[in-house]
């Protein structure tokens, strides 16, 4: 049996044990507050069949589990499966075990993870960066997923004796894409080497159409058909639909350009708070008609940070429109008994040069982080291959990323008001914090938290540019940490820095 057939077999065995979840919501515990959202939805008589819950503290998750009988699959965070070196990184192992404990607590049928990261080669970002779409990168993703699935198998036993299934979500593009493999070929290479399921996010797929440059030469439905033909659709377990919008960093004149002219698509990016544009439902209808979604178990609207009224309106339409998807074919799953037991020991690709490959990939990611943050030029095969596209990279470098560092997930002036006033009186512009942030790598040594990283880096920045202000910045940082800790101790109190 080939490795890919063995992986398909293992996948079918695992997914057959997951019941159909139906039409649900992918939610954040804190934003909007989940318990009041459920009360609102009950009042509006638009009720989800399941909730995919985004990463939160154990106590918050336990509170949710106590409050509802709905099935609660999980949306993980902070476990960067795209990055090399995980096998020797104690933090990765620790994250995987903490994740397993959350899955056990919620009794989650699956754990979904973006095929993306917020921390590359010591450089920190607020929102997801897609992987380098190369063969070496796909191989590392598969290897890391196998390691995490083994931890689930060892640590979590769900009712019925199975363990949660690792799902990998195709991430959004935010203005650029790098690498030499097409995105569907990349996911095919991952699924050939691991038994994971996939999440197909329709809005993410729209951003692939937009930022891979294909929109210039193909109509969207043609792109979709070609994409699905190559993508391992047979592994899709869940479909996501969420909003798209022009990013808030693109203000005024820039925003007008971002909305696109007559011959240009808007520069939308993934935006869960925004309304869902109708083009995504046209795409979803086409996806559902492709005939290869044999293992689909759920479809969810991703609604973290969205206004509750809009959630209720969109959910009502979604339930009405797609009710039939799960009515017809509940027996679509292959019966567990029908799967013959595996008769071979699985062998993974030769590991002789694994260290050299991992090091080469680490160097490629180091360069990737420097390119996207403006410290290196987009040259070399990862940026010039036919599949790469950096037409809009400058938007990321000069608008999106500075906004992320200065405002997103914690506004620096609101976090450090006194220090910022003192810096201003010394004519030290806050913009300098952005270049300081990326001037050298800073590996994280604890569970990834962008707000936490921001506090650390700002104190370092102040010490670097105005040493006399260090005590002031340190005092404000201590107050922030204390408030953050206190808020985290309450079950459902704190605003998340989100996806």
Binding site for Fe ion (CB under 5 A): 201, 240
Query: 252: which 2 tokens?
Result: 């005024």
**C-beta of 189 vs 204, nearer to Fe ion:** 204
Q: How far is the CB of 205 from Fe ion (least distance, A)?
A: 10
**C-beta of 203 vs 232, nearer to Fe ion:** 203
Are the C-beta atoms of residues 31 and 304 closer than 8 Å to each other? yes
> What's the half-sphere exposure (Cβ side, CA atoms, 13 Å) at 38?
19
Those residues with Cβ within 8 angstroms of residue 87's Cβ, 6 or more apart along the chain or in another chain? 143, 144, 147
**C-beta of 102 vs 240, nearer to Fe ion:** 240
| C-alpha torsion 394→400→401→403, nearest 10 | 140
Coil/strand/helix, residue 172:
coil
Q: How far is the CB of 236 from Fe ion (least distance, A)?
A: 12
Q: Which helix (H) or strand (E) holds 165?
A: strand 165-169
Q: How far is the CB of 162 from Fe ion (least distance, A)?
A: 24
Q: How far is CA 428 from the centre of its chain?
A: 35
Q: How far is the CB of 199 from Fe ion (least distance, A)?
A: 6
Residue 112 DSSP symbol: E
Which residue stretches of 231-344 are H helix? 252-258, 278-288, 308-322
Please tell me the distance from the alpha carbon of residue 496 to that of residue 184, in angstroms, as a whole number: 31
> What's the half-sphere exposure (Cβ side, CA atoms, 13 Å) at 79?
29
Least Cα distance to 490 among 127, 33, 102 occurs for 33
Are the C-beta atoms of residues 170 and 198 closer than 8 Å to each other? yes
Coil/strand/helix, residue 438:
coil
Q: How far is the CB of 491 from Fe ion (least distance, A)?
A: 25
Q: How far is the CB of 167 from Fe ion (least distance, A)?
A: 10
Q: How far is the CB of 325 from Fe ion (least distance, A)?
A: 18
Please tell me the distance from the alpha carbon of residue 172 to that of residue 163, in angstroms, as a whole number: 28
**C-beta of 212 vs 419, nearer to Fe ion:** 212
Query: 261: which 2 tokens?
Result: 């002219």
**C-beta of 139 vs 201, nearer to Fe ion:** 201
Q: How far is the CB of 201 from Fe ion (least distance, A)?
A: 4
**C-beta of 204 vs 267, nearer to Fe ion:** 204
Q: How far is the CB of 169 from Fe ion (least distance, A)?
A: 5
**C-beta of 180 vs 191, nearer to Fe ion:** 191
**C-beta of 199 vs 480, nearer to Fe ion:** 199
> What's the half-sphere exposure (Cβ side, CA atoms, 13 Å) at 115?
31
**C-beta of 77 vs 201, nearer to Fe ion:** 201
Tell which phi-psi region holds residue 85, choosing left (phi > 0), alpha (psi between -120 and 50) or beta.
left
């Amino acid at each position: 049996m080939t490795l890919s057939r063995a992986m398909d077999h293992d996948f079918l065995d695992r997914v057959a044990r997951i019941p159909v979840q139906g039409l649900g919501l992918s939610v954040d515990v804190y934003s909007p507050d989940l318990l009041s959202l459920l009360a609102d939805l009950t009042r509006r008589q638009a009720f989800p069949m399941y909730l995919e819950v985004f990463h939160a503290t154990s106590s918050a998750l336990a509170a949710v589990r106590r409050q509802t009988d709905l099935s609660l699959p999980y949306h993980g965070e902070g476990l960067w499966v795209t990055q090399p070196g995980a096998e020797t990184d104690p933090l990765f192992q620790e994250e995987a075990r903490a994740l397993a404990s959350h899955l056990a607590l919620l009794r989650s049928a699956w754990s979904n993870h973006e095929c993306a990261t917020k921390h590359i080669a010591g450089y920190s970002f607020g929102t997801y960066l897609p992987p380098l779409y190369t063969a070496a990168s796909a191989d590392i993703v598969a290897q890391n997923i196998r390691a995490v699935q083994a931890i689930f198998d060892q640590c979590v036993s769900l009712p019925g004796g199975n363990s949660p299934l690792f799902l990998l979500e195709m991430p959004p593009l935010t203005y650029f894409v790098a690498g030499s493999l097409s995105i569907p070929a990349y996911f095919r290479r991952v699924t050939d080497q691991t038994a994971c399921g996939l999440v197909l996010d329709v809005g993410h797929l729209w951003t692939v159409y937009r930022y891979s440059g294909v929109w210039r030469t193909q109509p969207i439905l043609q792109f979709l058909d070609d994409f699905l033909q190559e993508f391992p659709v047979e592994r899709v377990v869940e479909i996501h639909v969420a909003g798209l919008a022009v990013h808030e960093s693109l203000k005024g004149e820039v925003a007008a350009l971002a909305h696109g002219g007559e011959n240009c698509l808007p520069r939308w990016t993934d935006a869960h708070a925004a309304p869902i544009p109708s083009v995504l439902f046209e795409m979803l209808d086409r996806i559902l008609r492709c005939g290869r979604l044999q293992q689909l178990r759920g479809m969810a609207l991703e609604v973290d940070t969205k206004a509750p009224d809009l959630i209720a309106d969109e959910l009502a339409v979604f339930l009405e429109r797609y009710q039939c998807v799960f009515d017809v074919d509940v027996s679509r799953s292959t019966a567990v008994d029908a799967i013959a037991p595996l008769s071979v020991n699985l062998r993974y690709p030769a590991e002789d040069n694994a260290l050299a490959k991992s090091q080469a990939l680490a160097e490629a990611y180091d360069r990737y982080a420097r390119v996207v943050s403006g410290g290196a030029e987009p040259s070399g095969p990862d940026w010039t291959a036919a599949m790469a596209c950096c037409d809009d990279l400058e938007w990321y470098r000069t608008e999106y990323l500075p906004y992320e560092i200065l405002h997103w997930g914690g506004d620096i002036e609101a976090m450090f008001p006194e220090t910022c006033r003192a810096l201003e009186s010394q004519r030290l512009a806050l913009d300098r914090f952005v270049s300081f942030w990326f001037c050298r790598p800073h590996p994280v040594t604890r569970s990834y938290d962008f707000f936490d990283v921001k506090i650390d880096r700002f104190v370092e920045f102040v010490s670097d540019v105005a040493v006399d202000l260090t005590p002031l910045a340190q005092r404000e940082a201590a107050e922030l940490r204390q408030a953050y800790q206190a808020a985290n101790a309450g079950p459902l109190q704190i605003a998340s820095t989100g996806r």
